[in-house]
Amino acid sequence: MQTVFVSELKPFFDAVAEQMDLYVPKKTGAHYIYDKYDPADEAAVQFNNIRACTPVKEFLFPLRELAAVFPESLEPEEIRPFAVFGLKDCDLRSIEILDKVFTEEEFEDSFYIARREKMFIISSDCSEPGTSCWCTFSGGQPHAEKGFDLNISMVGNGFVVEVGSEKASEFVEKTKDLFAEVPAEALTERDAARTEARRRVDDNNAEYTLDEPANEVVAGGYESDVFDMESQKCVECQACTRVCPTCHCFYLYDTKREDYFAKMKMWDSCMRLAYAEVAGGENPRRVLGDRIRHRFMHKFAYFLDRYGINMCVGCGRCIDADSHKMDLRVVLKKLNEELKGAKEAKVAK
């Protein structure tokens, strides 16, 4: 992989913004959220040491969009090329998961694909993983090795830039005056930082180690009371599914406009009471515990079964967002202990 070096972010951001819309993470309170880059705003040049608190899905699958109109048909609008800076490995893996759903053969979502094709991904290493970060649990790590156009690692005197795609190669070629050769010590420094970040995540999560793969732990606990117990703490705010970068449920609804009818598509949440309700009033997940159970089963077992990939990237956003601190890791650990207990009891018999 081609690797180059840039000593400052500002000229790099400006060069990207000249070619496409650029979105950058901006510190707001304790978290980063995305905003369009403004070259005149010095504060817009930040290296986010952790993922943003908002999910990357908002760039590909907006909160609300027009999906169809009548009586004329609707095709996706022309999307301007855009870049997103500061995505982390967990974000890139969430894109991989969304791709499975929205680019599935036979049922390709043309709106998603229109955006995906125009997206230029500039990821960066996670230098300070948070206490809720548990990416290593699901096969990730605090730095990306694939899935990006460019990846940025911050080192003492600048930034190491890895070039991960043809598109990115062209960009670097076009703006080669910006870049220098990578100093040898920069790579050593980068690798040491990566090892340290990984160690932090591992340390964070040492107590949540499972005895079996998560899908088996969850499937084994399908009838467990743990979900109902957890439901007593849940206030049904649905924040967990909104901030989740892989949750992709949506709601279709029809509406009237001045001179046409529209079909809209909007994010939805499987935690919502009426989510699965049918016209006659029946609802297989009327009970909150059943909705929580379904969310876990979908995340850790059903999706894997269908697409061969775990639907949780371990970004920890849902843990941060949950007002009553429901922690996926704790729930999995409880299920793990139950399963272990049941197995031991069986052996004892």
Given the rule CB under 8 A, which residues bind another protein?
67-68, 70-71, 73-76, 101-102, 104, 106-111, 113-114, 222-223, 248-256, 261-263, 265, 268, 270, 275-280, 282-286, 290, 293-294, 297-298, 301-302, 305-306
Cβ contact 175:240 at 8 Å = no
Give the strands of the sheet with 64-70, arranged side by side: 64-70, 261-267, 250-256
Least Å distance, CB 206 to another protein, is 31
What separation, in Å, do the N-terminal and C-terminal C-alpha atoms of the chain show? 56
Tell me the β-bridge partners of 167.
none
Least Å distance, CB 113 to another protein, is 7
Q: Where are the beta strands (DSSP E) in the chain?
A: 3-6, 21-28, 31-36, 64-70, 82-87, 119-124, 150-155, 158-163, 250-256, 261-267
Closest CB to another protein among 50 and 119?
Answer: 119
Q: Are strands 119-124 and 64-70 parallel, antiparallel or unpaired?
A: unpaired
Closest CB to another protein among 271 and 321?
Answer: 271
Closest CB to another protein among 69 and 235?
Answer: 69
Closest CB to another protein among 10 and 286?
Answer: 286
Closest CB to another protein among 45 and 114?
Answer: 114
Least Å distance, CB 278 to another protein, is 5
Least Å distance, CB 243 to another protein, is 17
Cβ contact 342:223 at 8 Å = no
CA distance 88 to 85: 9
Closest CB to another protein among 49 and 241?
Answer: 241
Cβ contact 218:334 at 8 Å = no
Sign of CA dihedral 294, 244, 151, 130: negative
Least Å distance, CB 249 to another protein, is 4
Least Å distance, CB 261 to another protein, is 4
Least Å distance, CB 280 to another protein, is 5
Closest CB to another protein among 123 and 215?
Answer: 215
CA distance 77 to 67: 11
Least Å distance, CB 223 to another protein, is 8
Closest CB to another protein among 270 and 330?
Answer: 270
Cβ contact 66:264 at 8 Å = yes
Structure tokens, 14: 């400006």
CB neighbour list of residue 135: distance below 8 Å, 6 or more residues apart: 88, 89, 90, 93, 129, 141, 142, 201, 313, 314, 315
